[in-house]
A and B are shown apart, each in its own frame.
Chain A
Amino acid sequence: MWQRVRRWALIALAFLAWAGIAPAQAGAPKPVIERAAKGDRCVEDTAFMRRNHMELLKHHRDETVHLGIRTRKYSLKGCIDCHASKETGSVAAAKDDFCVSCHAYAAVKIDCFDCHSTKPQGAAQATARLDGARKRLADATRALGMKDIVGVAR
């Protein structure tokens, strides 16, 4: 008796699912997910990132702003560096760009790019990073009293 009820219930559910999803597939185009330009894998599994990227970013942002912790792994800049579109050079400039494409599909507004740049760091900033590293090298060498290493590094 109960088995029969369960079977009918399952059939009814399957029908409802079919009836519900089929028109949606026709009406709502799936998001375009462009492959990341750099690297062959994300910092975590794709499935994990799809569900939890916002938590990682939120955690990281507080550490960065308040404590000055600037690790690259879960940073928004890290996302943008890899996922910026080849065409627009941005993650949110056009409707098919990485972040916007999914967020439009899920109807979730992104606030990140009200303040954050949607484009990866340019060559100028990369140079600045290098200059920073050079300066640190010089500082350390001076602290250790080893003038010759600075000469070699230059």
Chain B
Amino acid sequence: MNDNEQTVASKARRQFLGTAAAATAGIAIAPGVLLYEVAHGKADDEPVSSTVRWGMLVDASKCAEGCDDCVKACSAENGWTPVAESQHPTQAPQWIRKLELQDPLTQTQLNLPMMCQHCAKPPCVDVCPTGASFKRADGIVLVDRHICIGCRYCMMACPYKARSLVHEPLNDTQKPDVPRGVGCVESCTFCVQKLDRGEGTTACVEACTAAGHGALVFGDLNDPDSAIAKRLREIPTKEVRADLKLDLGVRYHGI
């Protein structure tokens, strides 16, 4: 085969490979070659859409007494100082709190994590004077720190005590993925940085699963085949303060 023929052949081969790649829409063909685009993940340049609604199921009957792995994992992932290590514990930011409750009448013990409930009708968004508090298309309630003026109306409005103000300068201790700043309000983001990477789970859920409790299930509430949607069909669950009709993204079983 002379040079010219070789060029023609390799061109044809390239075209064939190109077509094949397009037909399989980026599915791995060779060992070690990773898939590019997938069922659940979105491309980096694609905006989030309301076809997904992220949600969490907390099974309080499985939530173990004395365990705060979810809180530790959240703190490690998102870079906030654990309350016990804070110099000012009463005003330290808390994205997720472990509650241990007791019914005064029956003495029943109850363990559960409490965090932003990612309401479909969030009061924090309603009251925000600057538009910093907002709900993303996929149901995650966030604070845009570029617009937040730290007025704390949203903290007052939240029925779940889910938000905190950062009172002290963080001196470049932030995680590259999780910007945080003094004078801004913050709360659970459902680990939005992980979700946007396509991991489809949060730090607290991973920690709870790793600890073997399995009290937390995370996923897409709109997808009937997701683990969370299946579990929600199986067991009775409640919203905390359902009377407020906020349509929460976090539901509890066993409360």
| Chain A residues proximal to chain B, CB less than 8 Å | 61-63, 65-72, 77, 80, 90, 92-93, 113-122, 125, 128-129, 131-137, 139-141, 143-144, 146, 149, 152-153
Query: In this assembly, does B179 line the interface, its C-beta being within 8 Å of a C-beta of chain A?
Result: yes
Is the CB of B44 closer than 8 A to any CB of chain A?
yes
A68 close to B39 (CB less than 8 A): no
> Are A115 and B174 in contact, with the CB atoms below 8 A?
yes
Provide the residues of chain B in CB contact with A117, threshold 8 Å: 172, 174-176, 179
Cβ of B27 and Cβ of A72 under 8 Å apart? no
Known A65-B142, A71-B44, A115-B174; judge A149-B199 contact (CB<8 A): no
Complex-state Cα separation, A117 to B180, whole angstroms: 9
Q: Give CA–CA (A119, B171) in the complex, Å.
A: 12
Which of B34, B38, B44, B180 has the most chain A CB within a 10 Å cutoff? B38
Give the distance to chain B from A133, nearest Cβ to Cβ, in Å: 5
> Which B residues touch A134, using CB under 8 A?
34
Q: How long is the Cα–Cα vector from A90 to B174 in the complex, in angstroms?
A: 13
In the bound complex, do residue B198 and residue A67 qualify as a contact, i.e. CB atoms below 8 Å apart? no
Size of the B side of the interface (Cβ < 8 Å), in residues, is 44
- By the criterion CB–CB under 8 Å, are B176 and A128 in contact? no
Q: How far is the CA of A67 from the CA of B169 in the complex (A)?
A: 28
* A152 and B115 alpha carbons, distance in the complex (Å): 40
Interface centre among B31, B177, B179 (most CB of A within 10 A): B179
Asked if B46 is at the interface (CB within 8 A of a chain A CB), the reply is: yes
Q: Which 6 A-B pairs have the closest CB atoms?
A: A115-B181, A140-B38, A67-B47, A68-B48, A132-B197, A115-B179
The reply to whether A70 and B44 form a contact with Cβ atoms under 8 Å apart is yes
Chain A minimum-CB-distance residue to B225: A143
| Closest chain B residue, CB of each to CB of A77 | B176
Please, which residues of chain A bring their CB within 8 A of the CB of B32?
A: 153
- CB–CB B199/A131 < 8 A: yes
What mask results when residues 181 to 218 of chain B are scored 1 for a CB within 8 Å of chain A, else 0? 11010000000101011111000000000000000000
Structural contact, A72 and B28, CB atoms closer than 8 A: no
Closest to B192 in A: A68
B68 interfacial contact with A, CB 8 Å: no
Given contacts A117-B174, A135-B200, 13 further A-B contacts (CB under 8 A): A61-B146, A65-B144, A68-B42, A68-B47, A68-B192, A68-B196, A77-B176, A92-B172, A121-B177, A132-B198, A133-B34, A139-B41, A140-B38
Tell me the smallest distance from the CB of A116 to a CB of chain B, in Å.
Answer: 5
Asked if B153 is at the interface (CB within 8 A of a chain A CB), the reply is no
| Residue pair B172, A119 in contact (C-beta under 8 Å) | yes
Closest partner residue, chain B, to A67 (CB atom): B47
Neighbour of A72 across the interface among B33, B44, B172, B181, CB < 8 A = B44
Give the chain B neighbours of A71 by CB distance below 8 A: 44-45
Chain A residues within an 8 Å CB radius of B27: 140, 144, 146, 149
With both chains docked as a complex, state the minimum distance between the C-beta of A134 and any C-beta of chain B, in angstroms.
7
Which residues on B sit within 8 Å (CB–CB) of A68?
A: 42, 47-48, 136-138, 192, 196
Cβ–Cβ < 8 Å partners of A125 in chain B: 175-177
User: In the complex the two chains form, what is the Cα distance from A36 to B174 in whole Å?
Assistant: 23
CB contacts (< 8 Å) of B169 on chain A: these are: 114
**Chain A nearest Cβ from B80, distance in angstroms:** 13
Q: Say whether B31 contacts A152, CB under 8 Å.
A: yes
Q: Is the CB of A137 within 8 A of B35?
A: yes
